[in-house]
Amino acid sequence: MNLLIATSNPHKLDELRAILAPLGIDPVGLDSVPGSDSFPEPEENADTFEGNALIKATAYAKMTNRICLADDSGLEVDALDGAPGVHSARYAGVGSNRAERDAANNAKLLAELDNIPDEQRSARFVCCICVASPSGEVLATSRGTFEGRIAHTPRGSNGFGYDPLLVLPDNRTPAELPADEKNRRSHRAAAAREIAPQLARILKRV
């Protein structure tokens, strides 16, 4: 049974597949499941990344009758009391496609941090992963982070979302990293490494 990754975000799917490939795991995305375009999208109404990952994993596992991995991820900014947090993807509330939403989200974040000095711009990407069985049982969970501070202007053309804004300790943003390096260092990579031993045991049993 192939592991199913519950996401409609092609960037996230590519990233997770690249991260899991060295572990011998070749997952498939929702678009590989017949009829997936008619699945009702579960309401991600939890107030934590962990809660939303659990909602998605259990819902899609039941709908597809497959072992399903879902993640919820976003950006936490300390000067904004952890915002945008679970609202990261639609922080600005505008945009008709992913590129427009990303641009609006980045612009809103920079505006809210205007006049905030570097030493108070600490932030991190957070990724929480949940794996669920077709019965809806939670089989494994993990959490990873990617620490840095928010830049004053976007930097780099790789990645997506807030990648151009998080300045890492080596003074590069994730959008300035080669894809293979980002996939080794990212919050998703950290969460995937933490869950990998459990995931390998789960998939061996089926």
Summarize pLDDT for 137-184 with one digit per residue, the tens.
999 999 999 999 999 999 999 988 999 999 999 999 999 999 889 988
CA distances (Å), origin 195, targets 32, 145, 171: 23, 14, 29
Fill in the DSSP letter of residue 121.
-
Q: Identify the active-site residue in 47, 71, 72, 114.
A: 72
User: Is 118 a residue of the active site?
Assistant: no
Domain ranges of the chain: 4-204
For residue 1, name the pLDDT band (cuts at 50, 70, 90).
Answer: low
pLDDT value at position 206? 63
Of 11-20, 55-64, 85-94, where does mean pLDDT reach its minimum?
A: 11-20
Q: Average per-residue pLDDT in the chain?
A: 92
For 61-85, write each residue's pLDDT tens digit: 999 999 999 999 999 999 999 999 9
CB 189 within 8 Å of CB 19: yes
Single out the residue of 184, 122, 181 nearest to residue 151, CA to CA.
Answer: 122
Is domain 4-204 annotated with CATH 3.90.950.10?
Answer: yes
